[in-house]
Amino acid sequence: MKSIFTAILFVASSVVFGQAYTGKDDIKFQVGANFQENGTGIVSTFDYGVGENISIGVKGMYLLGVEEFSDVAIAGTETTFADAEFGDRFDLRVRFNANLGNVINIDENFDLYPGLDLGLKNFGGHLGARYFFSPGFGIFTELNVPFAQYTQDEDFDLRDRPRKELNNQFNFSIGASFNL
């Protein structure tokens, strides 16, 4: 483990670095993996800088690997949970980011960006970080949490509840970030 960490530090210190967020007209594209309870999938974001520390964008998620809920019976009944459909697996969100990399001033290649999301399933927030190894390529990670869901468990038949939580719960993403 020490040798892997040392190799990463060596590579990171020996490449030409790019700036993580440059302000107005900065364009970022990110693609990666999304992990949440009962499913994993892909995530993609596009952010456009509208000010020195403000960007807006869109985010799309689609869950590829989803647990088959029909194999799980509801205790004491013959009812099984309904399997996830396309609308349960997919989510699209508009987002606002406060890019704080130059405020906290850790490294010009590092950006910390808390923000808000308004999606098809909820209103929520995210906390993300990205680090660029070169002018065009870096890595990112995001933690997402819903603040307000548009529907509550009581709005669905008991058998539909687990699939309605997909993309409507805490989730974690990691992947590659690109300057465009």
Domain ranges (residues) in the chain: 2-179
User: Would you say 97 and 117 are in contact if contact means Cβ atoms under 8 Å apart?
Assistant: no
Each residue's pLDDT tens digit, 65-94: 887 665 656 666 655 556 778 888 899 999
Q: Can you read off the two tokens belonging to residue 74? A: 């509801």
CA 136 to chain CA centroid, Å, is 20
pLDDT computed for residue 14 by the predictor: 35
Each residue's pLDDT tens digit, 137-175: 999 999 999 999 877 656 666 666 677 788 889 999 999
The H or E element that residue 64 is part of is strand 54-66
The whole-angstrom separation of Cα 106 and Cα 125 is 23
Per-residue pLDDT averaged across 132-139, rounded? 94
The whole-angstrom separation of Cα 34 and Cα 43 is 6
pTM of the predicted model as reported, rounded to 2 decimal places? 0.77
**AA letter at 178:** F
Between residues 114 and 64, the one the model is more confident about: 114
The H or E element that residue 11 is part of is helix 2-14
User: Would you say 39 and 168 are in contact if contact means Cβ atoms under 8 Å apart?
Assistant: no
Q: Is 155 helix (H, G, I), strand (E, B) or coil?
A: helix
pLDDT computed for residue 7 by the predictor: 45
pLDDT computed for residue 60 by the predictor: 97
Per-residue pLDDT averaged across 108-134, rounded? 95
Report the topology of domain 2-179: Porin (2.40.160)
